A and B are shown apart, each in its own frame.
Chain A
Amino acid sequence: AQKVTQTQTSISVVEKTTVTMDCVYETRDSSYFLFWYKQTASGEIVFLIRQDSYKKENATVGHYSLNFQKPKSSIGLIITATQIEDSAVYFCAMREGGNYNQGKLIFGQGTKLSIKP
């Protein structure tokens, strides 16, 4: 069965430091796609970064990067040089690549990140 788990309910760090948020997933598919999304205080949900299961290189976009550990079914999100506006809830998500599950995208429970000045 397809499942995404984020065990960190909330994290608080000081501005300009680096933070890592954890996510583990379960899938029977050999091909899948992993995503991180951010939900701001207004409720808006925006896409941040993606990792394709067949790629060994960790994805990086701006000050977001991923720590993809396939043998551990783990996809951590790393935010470097954090800013106050990074305060939000972060969701990990997975879409399996098989034809029987076309487009189904499921989410983890979310991690609330607070950045302190």
Chain B
Amino acid sequence: GGIITQTPKFLIGQEGQKLTLKCQQNFNHDTMYWYRQDSGKGLRLIYYSITENDLQKGDLSEGYDASREKKSSFSLTVTSAQKNEMAVFLCASSLRQGKNTEVFFGKGTRLTVV
């Protein structure tokens, strides 16, 4: 078994601030994802990475940067936090080969912008 660890669990930022969220996985998975979930809504893909140093944009990449410097870690940066923004950011990972493999999720980082 393995685990996906997201830090921090809670993040409070100020409008205009640059904020970084981190994710570590010990599954030895190739592919990692960042999703955003707004209250009562579905998961929207921000960025994903199929291997170390790879980055692929999702449907919601504007306003975000991502970095995959190691296979086990994937970080997400909110380039300029928007006032009153509240959302949960979920990191996930999966094997790349055999695209029918399941995705495992972390417990999320809850962002509040004041």
State which of B20-28, B69-77, B99-107 sits at the interface with chain A: B99-107
Beta-carbon nearest neighbor of A49 in chain B: B102
Name the one of B99, B103, B108 contacting A97, with C-beta atoms under 8 angstroms. Answer: B99
Q: Report if B56 contacts A (CB, 8 A).
A: yes
Q: How far is the CA of A47 from the CA of B94 in the complex (A)?
A: 12
Chain A nearest CB: distance from B54 CB in Å? 9
Nearest B residue (CB) for A9:
B40
Contact yes or no, B50 A102, CB < 8 A? yes
B96 touches A110 (CB 8 A): no
Tell me the nearest residue of chain B to A50, going by C-beta.
Answer: B100
A11 in contact (CB, < 8 A)? no
Cβ 8 A contact of A33, one of B92, B100, B108: B100
The distance in angstroms between the C-alpha atoms of A95 and B96, with both chains bound, is: 11
With a cutoff of 8 Å between Cβ atoms, the chain B residues found around residue A6 in the complex are 42
B43 beta carbon closer than 8 Å to chain A: yes
* Residues of chain B with a CB closer than 8 A to A107's CB: 35, 42-45
Please, how many residues of chain B have a CB less than 8 angstroms from a CB on the other chain?
Answer: 27
| Chain B residues, Cβ within 8 Å of A47 | 102-104
Interface residues in B40-57 by Cβ distance below 8 A to A read 41-45, 48, 50, 56
| A52–B100 CA distance with the chains assembled, in angstroms | 7
Which residues of B lie under 8 Å from residue A45 when comparing CB positions? 90, 92, 105
Look across to chain A and name the residue whose beta carbon is closest to the beta carbon of B31. Answer: A103
Chain A residues whose CB sits within 8 angstroms of the CB of B59 once the complex forms: 106
> Which residues does chain B contribute within 8 Å of A110, judged by CB atoms?
41-42
Does A105 belong to the interface (CB within 8 Å)?
yes
CB atoms of B102 and A50 under 8 A apart = yes
Q: Is A67 an interface residue (CB 8 A)?
A: no
Q: Can you list 24 A-B pairs, Cβ within 8 angstroms, ordered by A?
A: A35-B102, A44-B107, A45-B90, A46-B105, A50-B100, A52-B100, A91-B42, A95-B99, A95-B100, A102-B99, A103-B31, A103-B50, A103-B94, A103-B96, A104-B48, A104-B56, A105-B33, A105-B48, A105-B94, A105-B103, A106-B59, A107-B35, A107-B43, A108-B42
A contact residues vs B (CB 8 Å cutoff): 6, 33, 35, 37, 43-47, 50, 52, 91, 93, 95, 97, 102-110
